[in-house]
Amino acid sequence: MLEWRQKHAFFGILLYIFTTVFVINLMMMKPEDKIWNALFWIIQLFVCVNAVAKSFMQENRGRLLYYYSVVHPRHFILAKLIYNLILMLLMSVISLICCMMFLGNPITNPLYFIGVVMLGGVSLSLVFTMLAAIAAQASQNAALMAIMGFPLIMPVLMLLSSISRSAFEPVLQPGLPGMFMLLGGLDVLVIALALILFPYLWKD
Amino acid sequence: MDVSLTNSIRFACTLKSPKFFAVTFKTCRFAPTFSIGIMAKHWWKILSVIIILYTIIIGLSVKIPIIANNEQTSRNLFYHVPMWIAMYTQFTISVVASVMYLASNDLKKDIWASSAGSIGVFFGLLGFATGSLWATYTWGGTLTDDPKQISTALAILIYLAYLVLRLSFNDLDKRARVSAIFNIFAFALLIPLTYIIPRMVDSLHPGSTSSPGFSKNDTDGTMMRVFYPAMIGWALFSVWLYSLRVRYKKIALKKIIHA
């Protein structure tokens, strides 16, 4: 995909991450483990809303029509999913580095936490890509994204924050493999639904 | 056979009082048609009302086994769980109708989906209300951080988002298509939210790992005899409400198309 054109959007999100983390740093210098975890996932959520949601809004009608005539809708949504996934992974790494720099580093198990962050980035980007595709069809799509997206993404965030707790302190969590399976299952489900349903969304 | 029966009854009535102006469905569209034949067609509606009345009266008066420290509050089983059954019935109707809409592009299917969605949300809210009322007296808080309560609240929120999404379109066909897609998404998340996650984590809810449910203690089957009819009764009642809503929406759609 030719989305590198929108460089300003990319650097805009970078700046967004930076300022958010800096504001948190000014307000509370070094937060505790639990608060650090919560803040990190909230930053991730809003970065995702900003980065991924724009992927359909910034296309104008003419270009969408062009894509429609050139590629099959299933290939189009697949390309969008992959692009947003890579973008979100990159953003996750950047926001993780920012958080570590400004808010201190309470993580005791870094490799595990990076893995969780990657998984979280994947899940967030997949769900929001599909939602952005739906919201792009409606008229006032910015507000709709929040209304539709937050209840849908909340279970994912709940799972993520409880999984990532193991990275901060050695706690015993019995259902850990099950939670990973559930997150992976949700991702597969979203991809499958997107591939099946997107051609219907693109009919006009 | 039904038709001939009703006709003969009506004929007999008119013979007895020839001067009386009979208000039947032939003379007036809104006439009450309490004939046996028509009643027989709607037997399931009558059945649902009878079952619900039975479960309310018997549910309050039957002697129930005492389960752990729930004491008499276990009776909420008869009123709380059937709401979820009704909600699931409606959401299943809704998602099936949505798939049928995407396959056929028939606006009637969209009406089915949206009506079932709104009735399902109604029963979901009732189920949540009865559950949190119960929680107020047994868990000590109306809104607790119990995983079951949170995940059902989220599921209801998702479906409320579905209803809001429907409001934000002007074009009928577009609204039908986009909301059908979102509806399938919502149903795909409803199942893990209300069925898989609550079974993975520990909950205070009766029937979970740490607190006993009714099935082990109900050795006489007294609770079962009220509980299972209650589920069927409320599910039937929800289907009745759904059919009313479909009829209303169909008339509204007809007005929009003709105007």
Q: What pLDDT was estimated at residue B183?
A: 92
Closest CB from B180, B189, B200 relative to A175: B200
A106 vs A33: CA distance, rounded Å = 6
pLDDT for A102-157, tens place per residue? 777 777 777 888 888 888 888 888 888 888 888 877 765 667 777 788 888 888 88
Question: Does B169 sit within 8 Å of A138, measured CB to CB?
Answer: yes
Render A30-57 in DSSP notation, one character per residue: S--HHHHHHHHHHHHHHHHHHHHHHHHH
Mean pLDDT of chain B: 80
Q: Identify the closest residue of chain B to A195 by CA–CA distance.
A: B181
Given a cut of 50, is residue A72 above it in pLDDT? yes
Spatial separation of the C-alpha atoms in residues A130 and A60, rounded to whole Å: 18
Across the range A82-92, mean pLDDT stands at 85
**For B150, nearest residue in chain A (alpha carbons):** A155
pLDDT mean across residues, chain A: 79
Q: How far is CA B253 from CA B75, B163, B243, B244, B246, in A?
A: 42, 17, 15, 14, 10
Task: Determine which of A126, A165, A181, A197 to mutate to test the interface with B (most B C-beta atoms within 10 Å).
Answer: A197
Minimum mean pLDDT range among A2-6, A54-58, B158-162: A2-6
Q: What is the pLDDT of residue B96?
A: 94
Per-residue tokens: A30 = 């070094």
Q: How far apart are CA B242 and CA B117, in angstroms?
A: 9
Predicted pLDDT of residue A153: 84
Distance CA(B131)–CA(B143), nearest Å, equals 10
For chain B, which residues lie within 8 Å of any Cβ of chain A, measuring from their own Cβ? 102, 150-151, 154, 157-158, 160-161, 164-165, 168-170, 174, 177-178, 180-182, 184-186, 188-189, 192-193, 196-197, 200-201
Q: Which residue of B has its CA nearest to A196?
A: B181
pLDDT digits (tens, 9 = 90+) for B27-64: 655 655 566 666 667 888 888 889 889 888 888 887 77
Cα torsion angle, B92, B93, B95, B96, sign: positive
How many Å lie between the alpha carbon of A14 and the closest alpha carbon of chain B?
A: 30
Instruction: Closest CB to B178: pick one of A175, A178, A201.
Output: A201
The ipTM is: 0.80
Tokens of A194: 């997107």
Residue B119 has a pLDDT of 94
CB contact under 8 A, B192 and A185: yes
How high is the pLDDT of residue B1? 46
Quote the pTM value: 0.80
Q: What does the pLDDT look like over B89-148, one tens digit per residue?
A: 999 999 999 999 988 888 889 999 999 999 999 999 999 999 888 888 877 777 777 778
Write the residue in B165, B177, B197 that is nearest to A203 by C-beta.
Answer: B177
Q: Which amino acid is at B55?
A: T
The residue-averaged pLDDT of A16-33 equals 81
Residue B245 pLDDT class (50, 70, 90 cuts)? very high
Give the whole-angstrom CA distance, residue A133 versus residue A67.
Answer: 14
Distances (CA, A) of B71 to B75, B80, B141, B216, B218: 9, 16, 18, 15, 13
Q: Name the residue type at position A46.
A: F
Q: Please give the residue that has the higher pLDDT: either B203 or A76.
A: A76
> Which letter, b or e, does each residue of A97-111 get, where b requires 16 or more Cβ atoms within 10 Å of its Cβ?
ebbbebbeebbeeee
Query: What is the per-residue burial (b if ≥16 Cβ within 10 Å, else e) of B119-141?
Result: bbbbbbebbbebbbebbeebeee
pLDDT of residue B127: 92
